[in-house]
Amino acid sequence: LSSKGGSASGGKGEKVEVDERRLFQVVRAGFAGKRKQLQNNLSKGLHVSKERAIEALLQVGLNPKIRAEDLKVEDWIAIASII
């Protein structure tokens, strides 16, 4: 990642750009609760509704019950770009 942020291919093949600070904020929130489902960690850590967290995960093509440790870097970038 450069100091400006990261990029990854989105679910439909397009490039996704995201601010590096936002990316790390989302990753920290995702790992905040040990052995918790990502939907719950994102909701609590980013102060968004659980429904919004679920919607973001579904938009990226992920099961809302996934755990943070199961994501790839590209998944984190995609989530950070939409939540």
Could you read off the pLDDT of 35-52 as tens digits, one per residue? 889 999 999 999 999 999
Average model confidence (pLDDT) across the chain = 86
Residue with tokens 């936002």: 22
Could you read off the pLDDT of 61-81 as tens digits, one per residue? 999 999 999 999 999 999 999
pTM of the model: 0.78
Task: From residue 14, give the alpha-carbon distance in Å to each of 8, 11, 33.
Answer: 8, 7, 31
The pLDDT assigned to 14 comes to 58
Encoded tokens for 35 = 């052995």
| Cα–Cα distance for residue pair 35/69, rounded to 1 Å | 9
Strand extents, DSSP E, the chain: 6-9, 15-18
| Cα–Cα distance for residue pair 13/64, rounded to 1 Å | 21
